């Protein structure tokens, strides 16, 4: 079983809705990540938090808003999304440092109507 | 040129065969390298880290060639359960940076009975 838990597993929302994705890790890691995986595209890194501080924002539109209240929890707040935002959103965690492998959650499959 | 490039495949090989994939990277300052596998509609899972001296884990061997800027994965005596997409991952940000992690598009492998 994965030590990284994501909820919900599936989400369908309209373009005017506001929803949040949740990620929790039980591995004692201090870095957490959000990725987007669209069909036939590589994983795209969206946000990185290290010790609760955001260290990376890869030019992600402001309709995606991350929140990291502590090293174990990560949220992705969504509002006024577009159909092209439909994708699998994956959360990962690792010990800090780029030479550490990441552990992924099962992902949230998001569909925008 | 893509930062991390993989042959998308699919590679279709019989059970028991040996198969190898390469992955090229463009940033010569890249520090850390990994192979992940991703099953259909599942999250990526770490297969192995890739060390400068090369490393082996059972039927899997990973090699790094810094001069030519590629890493390779060799699978011996392939099993049906090896069918998956294999993702090459490169950290270009240095050992202290958790953020500059680039995923390749993946190579699809299908093992037939």
Residue A1 has pLDDT above 60, yes or no: no
Q: Would you call B106 and A31 a contact, using CB atoms and an 8 Å cutoff?
A: no
State the average pLDDT over residues A37-55.
Answer: 85
- In chain A, the percentage of residues whose pLDDT exceeds 90 is 69
State the average pLDDT over residues A34-42.
Answer: 90
Q: Would you call B98 and A106 a contact, using CB atoms and an 8 Å cutoff?
A: no
With bands split at pLDDT 50, 70 and 90, how would you rate the model's confidence at A53?
confident
> CB distance from A39 to chain B under 8 Å?
no
* Residue written as token pair 């010990």: A95
Residue A52 has pLDDT above 80, yes or no: no
Q: Would you call B42 and A106 a contact, using CB atoms and an 8 Å cutoff?
A: yes
Residue ranges in chain B modelled with pLDDT below 50: none
Rounded to a whole number of angstroms, the distance from the CA of A63 to the nearest CA of chain B is 21
State the average pLDDT over residues A16-45.
Answer: 92
Q: Would you call B99 and A97 a contact, using CB atoms and an 8 Å cutoff?
A: no
> CB distance from B49 to chain A under 8 Å?
yes
Name, in order, each residue with C-beta under 8 angstroms of B73's C-beta and a sequence gap of 6 or more: B20, B21, B23, B35, B47, B60, B61, B62, B86, B88
**pLDDT for res A21:** 98
CA dist., res. B99 & res. B26, Å (int) = 17
State the average pLDDT over residues A92-109.
Answer: 87
- In chain A, the percentage of residues whose pLDDT exceeds 70 is 96
Q: Would you call A48 and B99 a contact, using CB atoms and an 8 Å cutoff?
A: yes
CA dist., res. B101 & res. B106, Å (int) = 15
- The rounded mean pLDDT for chain A is 90
Give the distance, in angstroms, between the CA of residue A76 and the centroid of all CA atoms in the same chain.
6
Nearest CB to B43: which of A33, A45, A106?
Answer: A106
**pLDDT for res B38:** 95
**pLDDT for res B30:** 84
> CB distance from B44 to chain A under 8 Å?
yes
């Amino acid at each position: 079983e994965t030590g990284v838990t994501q909820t919900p597993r599936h989400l369908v929302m309209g373009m005017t809705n506001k929803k949040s994705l949740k990620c929790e890790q039980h591995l004692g890691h201090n870095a957490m990540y959000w990725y987007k995986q669209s069909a036939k595209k590589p994983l795209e890194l969206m946000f990185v938090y290290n010790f609760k501080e955001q260290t990376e924002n890869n030019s992600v539109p402001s309709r995606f808003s991350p929140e990291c209240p502590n090293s174990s929890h990560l949220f992705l707040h969504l509002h006024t999304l577009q159909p092209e935002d439909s994708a699998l959103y994956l959360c990962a965690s690792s010990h800090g440092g780029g030479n550490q492998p990441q552990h992924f959650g099962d992902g949230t499959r998001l569909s925008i109507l | 040129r893509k930062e991390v490039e993989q042959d998308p495949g699919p590679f279709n090989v019989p059970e028991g065969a040996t198969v190898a994939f390469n992955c090229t990277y463009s940033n010569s300052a890249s520090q850390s390298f990994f192979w992940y596998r991703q099953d259909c509609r599942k999250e990526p899972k770490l297969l192995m880290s890739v060390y400068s001296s090369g490393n082996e884990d059972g039927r899997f061997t990973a090699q790094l060639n810094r001069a030519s800027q590629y890493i390779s994965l060799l699978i011996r005596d392939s099993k049906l359960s090896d069918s998956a997409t294999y993702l090459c991952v490169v950290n270009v940000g240095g050992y202290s940076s958790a953020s500059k992690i680039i995923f390749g598009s993946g190579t699809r492998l299908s093992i037939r009975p």
